[in-house]
Amino acid sequence: MRTPAKPATNSRLGKFRGPQRGAEFAAETAVGAARGCRAVLLDRDGVINALVYHQDAGVIDAPYTRAQFRLLPRVPQAIRLLNDLGLPVAIVSNQPGIAKGHLQPEMLEWFDRAMLTQIQSAGAHIDGVFYCLHHPEAKVPSLRRRCRCRKPQTGLLEQAAAQLHVSLSECYMVGDGIPDLLAGTQAGCRTVFVGKWKCEICQFSEAPQIRPALVAKDLWHAAKLIRQELAAARRQRPAARSGVCCSGKAQVAAPR
């Protein structure tokens, strides 16, 4: 299921008391932040499928051809794990390849079918696919625009959350790039970076203070980290009348 992308409408603090208390507080904060998480938003290229080095252009980018499209190891199993945790999973991805003239819409549809077929073969499923097809310098006039759905803007995430019937503060945002972290942070999501996080990557960020809540080597590792956080949150006795949402902001619990 691919939903056309359109412009969308729309910490806890504590005193540090030494290394041990700092570690305990970090763990408590993570547990509290994870307690309200109810859905997972995934970037596509570099998280679900492999990126490709296009030698003619000298760039690393999304695949353009059938031969270049392949899922990364254990991706279907990771999504199955998230499904088993009861978390809806949606894909939110910038896909300007059509706008730039790199591929035709039929190829993007083929990528979707290949991706979803392999995921379903592992007994997993995706609850929604949301793409931003726009680019400010698109060769295709109808797709040349500055929109709210292109990450790091949050419009695409808003569309996904609305379809999943969750708030963005109840979502994990998993991605391999700075735009994913920026979009997730601005939207109030709990962010997960997939890859090797290095401090110098922040030099290229529009917001150098951005830091992911979790860092995982791949989607399978990210899914396991999410499982650990949710398990820890469930073990911790909730407060009688209040809780903490996924982003770490206090919430009043609904009466039973």
237: phi > 0 → left, psi -120 to 50 → alpha, else beta; which?
A: beta
Q: What's the DSSP call for residue 94?
A: E
Q: Positive or negative, the Cα torsion across 225, 226, 230, 236?
A: positive
User: Is residue 84 flagged as an active site residue?
Assistant: no
Side chain identity at residue 8, one-letter code: A
For residue 84, give the nearest of 112, 125, 118 by alpha carbon.
125
Does residue 153 contact residue 182 with C-beta atoms inside 8 Å?
no
Say whether 176 is catalytic: no
Element (H, E) at 49: none
The Cα–Cα gap between 247 and 30 comes to 10
Q: ∠184-23-180 over CA atoms, to 5°? A: 10
**Residue in 45, 61, 84, 176 annotated catalytic:** 45
CA 17 – CA 28 distance, rounded (Å) = 14
Helix (H) or strand (E) holding 60: strand 59-61
Rounded Cα–Cα distance for residues 139 and 120 (Å):
35
Q: Which residue has the tokens 């005193």?
A: 15
Tell me if residue 2 falls in helix, strand or coil. strand
Active-site residue set: 43, 45
